[in-house]
Amino acid sequence: MLIIGEKVNVMSLTIGPAMKNRDPKPIQDMAAAQVEAGANALDINIGPARKDGPEMMEWVVNTVQDAVDVTLCLDTTNAEAMEAGLKVCKKQPIINSASGEPTRLETMTSLAAKYDAKLIGLTMPATGIPRDANGRMAIAVDIMTKMAEKGVPLENLYLDPLILPIAVSQEQALEGIEAIKMFRQLNDPPLKTVVGLSNISNGALAETKPLLDRTYLTMLATVGLDAAIADPFDKELMDTVKTVRILRNEVLYCHSYLD
Ligand code: THG
């Protein structure tokens, strides 16, 4: 199970202004602290960045790379900004993300081919949100087909069911689990899967958020989830991740496996 730290995010009250003012310190501190806390990769979320997207993404990627040496997951719908970031990544990057929307699917899969990047395929239709696991599967197949057309190896694809908040659409939590099961069956060896874990607790009370996140992670782990965009500063979540790695036989057990 791979953990992609979610905290370098333009929505954050410390990171947003630092991105705008090109102030490296808060961004580098946030990157280093997440890696220290156990993140294996970092999501770099600059939002839609309509104004100076390419220049902003290039600067943020270089800033983060000066502080840490992990895989970067570039999170923007702005194609020019995505390409500017991909150009300067030192390690094989992850494009976050393509969706079922035809222009975005075409552009992001082309970029994955051009830069030998991994790609998160968000199984979100051109309009609205996916209704159930079957709706998500149809988009997953579209994304897979486009990947094959561009010659991107399927092992570079992570399918994302798009997790919705439990407080808003309670019936969708199990559809997300079902989608992970079904995505894996699309190929042999199984396709890889990822979720934005904290989507599940978005809008819930602060005291229940951590419990919602780590219980859902455990349920997703049971059906084979490969990666999660998550909060590495949630200590109990990270202990759960370590325990999942032991129970799935990904890491050799020893009594002090939490240390
Ligand atoms: N799939 C993919 N990418 C994604 C998501 C996904 N990127 C964005 C998002 N979902 C995951 N990233 C974040 C980043 C930051 C926060 C949440 C998700 C965040 N949340 C507030 C916090 O922690 O304080 C709380 C928000 C609230 O509950 O009000 O900062 O699904 N491919």
What the chain holds in terms of domains, given with CATH numbers, is 2-234 (3.20.20.20)
For ligand 1, atom 5, which residue shows the shortest CA distance? 196
**Span from the CA of 252 to the centroid of ligand 1 (angstroms):** 31
Decide if 163 contacts 195 (C-beta within 8 A).
yes
**Gap between the Cα atoms of 234 and 131, Å rounded:** 30
**Span from the CA of 196 to the centroid of ligand 1 (angstroms):** 7
**Gap between the Cα atoms of 192 and 172, Å rounded:** 20
pLDDT of residue 131: 82
pLDDT of residue 129: 83
Q: Which atom of ligand 1 is nearest to the CA of 120?
A: 32
Tokens of 109: 């899969």
pLDDT of residue 128: 85
pLDDT of residue 196: 98
What is the chain's pLDDT, residue by residue, as a tens digit (259 residues)? 999 999 999 999 999 999 999 999 999 999 999 999 999 999 999 998 888 999 999 999 999 999 999 999 999 999 999 999 999 999 999 999 999 999 999 999 999 999 999 999 999 998 888 889 999 999 999 999 999 999 999 999 999 999 999 999 999 999 999 999 999 999 999 999 999 999 999 999 999 999 999 999 999 999 999 999 999 999 999 999 999 999 999 999 999 999 9
Q: Which atom of ligand 1 is nearest to the CA of 122?
A: 32
**Span from the CA of 230 to the centroid of ligand 1 (angstroms):** 8
**Span from the CA of 234 to the centroid of ligand 1 (angstroms):** 14
pTM of the model: 0.97
Decide if 90 contacts 114 (C-beta within 8 A).
no
**Gap between the Cα atoms of 161 and 129, Å rounded:** 10
